[in-house]
Amino acid sequence: EVVMTQSPATLSVSPGERVTLSCRASQSVSSSLAWYQQKPGQAPRLLIHGASTRATGIPARFSGSGSGTEFTLTISSLQSEDFAIYYCQQYNNWPLTFGGGTKAEIK
């Protein structure tokens, strides 16, 4: 099983700050990596797939990078609506696995 490790677990940030979230895979997943955003009481929303391709309707302030085992989600200027939990997911191998999440909270 590919273990996905996200860091940090919690990120305290101010609106307007640049934010970088990390996701590490225990073995290479190539570029088969997706990022999701989840707000309280809501289903997750796809942000990024293929490690760096923004999903339809996702603002340009969200960007993804990386391949192999190291991945990054960057939010260039955090908006109030971006305070949420972010999950990475690999889909290169079965079982599909998610990271434990990074919570972006207001400083």
Partner 1 sequence: EVQLSQSGGGLVLPGGSLTLACAASGFTFRNTAMTWVRQAPGKGLEWVSTFTGSFSTTYSADSVKGRFTISRDNSKNTLYLQMNSLRADDAAVYYCAKSPSSDYPYYFDSWGQGTLVTVSS
To the nearest 10°, report the CA torsion of 19, 56, 71, 79. Answer: 10
CB of 107 to partner 1, least distance (A): 22
57: left (phi over 0), alpha (psi -120 to 50) or beta: left
Residue 15 or 59 with smaller CB distance to partner 1: 59
Residue 43 or 60 with smaller CB distance to partner 1: 43
Q: Which residues bind partner 1 (CB under 8 A)?
A: 32, 34, 36, 38, 43-46, 49-50, 55-56, 87, 89, 91, 94-101
CB of 77 to partner 1, least distance (A): 25
